[in-house]
Amino acid sequence: MKKAFWLLAAAVPVLLAACGGEEKKAPPVDALVLPGDAKLDSRSVDYKCDDGRKFSVQYLTKGDNHLAVVPVSDSASLVFANVISASGAKYAAGQYIWWTKGEEATLYKDWKGGEPADGVSCKER
């Protein structure tokens, strides 16, 4: 009887651990899966803006998907999708427009008359 008690006493902690016990959870990881078999091209570009801000924009391209991760403030970044433009590369996210041409870019967050207005000019650094 004593032997059975000790076996049971030894097995309980093992069973509790196996059934969940105190499990350490990994921190959540965000992932964005883009469709298609094409290779993902990723590059980071550093900018300095007329308002004094310095930041990096991450450009992601896979097949026909062209994205830019742009910090719209000191505490928030948004994922912008490429949209049609007459000149340069234009990206949109919510109310924001990130428009690049060569080494110059402009971040617009306001609109007037259906057009982006009062943008902040930036240059690659």
**pLDDT tens-digit profile, the chain (125 residues):** 444 333 333 433 443 444 444 555 656 667 888 888 999 999 999 999 999 999 999 999 999 999 999 999 989 999 999 999 999 999 999 999 999 999 999 999 988 888 888 899 999 99
Task: From 86, 41, 51, 88, select the one nearest 72 (Cα to Cα).
Answer: 51
CB neighbour list of residue 98: distance below 8 Å, 6 or more residues apart: 57, 68, 70, 80, 90, 91, 92, 105, 106, 107, 108
Look at the block and give the residue holding tokens 């994205």.
67
Rounded to the nearest angstrom, the gap between the alpha carbon of residue 36 and the centroid of all alpha carbons in its chain is 19
CB neighbour list of residue 55: distance below 8 Å, 6 or more residues apart: 46, 47, 49, 70, 71
Rounded-to-integer distance, Cα 11 and Cα 15, Å: 6
What's the predicted TM-score (pTM) here?
Answer: 0.74
The superfamily in CATH containing domain 41-124 is: C-type lysozyme inhibitor (2.40.128.200)
Sequence ranges of the domains in the chain: 41-124
